[in-house]
Structure 1
Amino acid sequence: MDSATLKMFLAQQQEAHKEQLLFLQQQQEKLLETILKKIGTQSDHTNTINSLNGRISTFIYNSEDGETFDRWYGRYENVIKVDGAQLDDASKARFLVTKLDKHEAEQFRNHILPKMPAEVNFRRDGVLNNSKDT
């Protein structure tokens, strides 16, 4: 192989290597962008849940005072719908379960068996329908 052919071969290899590095760099940038978006969304959800948590009291059933789940939820429904609008139904359901007092949470878990609270849909078969008996 003469010198000119070798130089041409090395130039082609160098160009192919540059293209490969550029492609890998673009892939890494896309991956980083996706990760940062996901982190931002999780942070937003955490902030929303923390905000809701500070504004909504724990539900404790008290028949003498008429403190039923319907009454409690009615007091906070607008806060959950408006301020928690960016949360999906599963996140809302998990949040509401955390706002049940120990006894009420246990009753709810027993009521939805064999499902776990995280498997219950917020509207369709979820917290709102299943907790009304509490």
Structure 2
Amino acid sequence: MDAKVLEKLLKAQQEHFEKMLVRLLKPSEMNDTELYSKLVGMIGEFVFDLTSGMTFESWLGRHRSYFEEEGKTLPESSKVRLLLSKLGPEEYAQIERKMLPTKLSEMKFDELCNDVVPFKILLSLGT
């Protein structure tokens, strides 16, 4: 084998190994399922309690970055499902009744947040 051909082959092989090494050392991105599961564990459940100041607005203010930063790669439907899964049973039932005939799971994340906050205010007034 010619020395130049061998040198070219070795150089190409070295470049290929370097690219593979960079890919292997690069932190792997979580898939949507792993990310969703991680966020489920990080976000606390919302239970309305006016006496302690636990309104949806304050809860969302504390947890919004999980949805918008850590969860930014999640599909819209997964963000909505995650948010709905974190509502307490009573809160979910009340909001669902007030939103009828709209299905909560068919709403957009921002739309749901903007519509839920006023309902939490109404609930705090006892309506």
Tell me if 1:54 matches 2:32: no
Tell me if 1:90 matches 2:66: no
Q: Deviations over 1:18-56 (max 9, x none)?
A: xxxxxxxxxxxxxxxxxxxxxxxxx81111111110001
Distance in 2 of aligned mates of 1:129 and 1:69: 10
Distance in 2 of aligned mates of 1:87 and 1:98: 15
Bigger RCO (CA 8 Å, 6+ sep) = 2
- How many residues align? The count is 90
Partner amino acid, structure 1, of 2:74: L
Partner amino acid, structure 2, of 1:73: L
Q: 1:120 aligns to what?
A: 107
3-state SS of paired residue (1:86): coil
TM-align CA RMSD: 1.3
The runs of 5 or more residues in structure 2 that have no matched partner are: 1-29, 121-127
Runs (4 or more) in structure 1 with deviation over 2 Å come to none
Q: 1:130 aligns to what?
A: 115
TM-score of the superposed pair, with normalisation by structure 2: 0.66
Distance in 2 of aligned mates of 1:106 and 1:98: 12
Identity fraction in percent: 29
Distance in 1 of aligned mates of 2:103 and 2:31: 25
Larger radius of gyration: 1
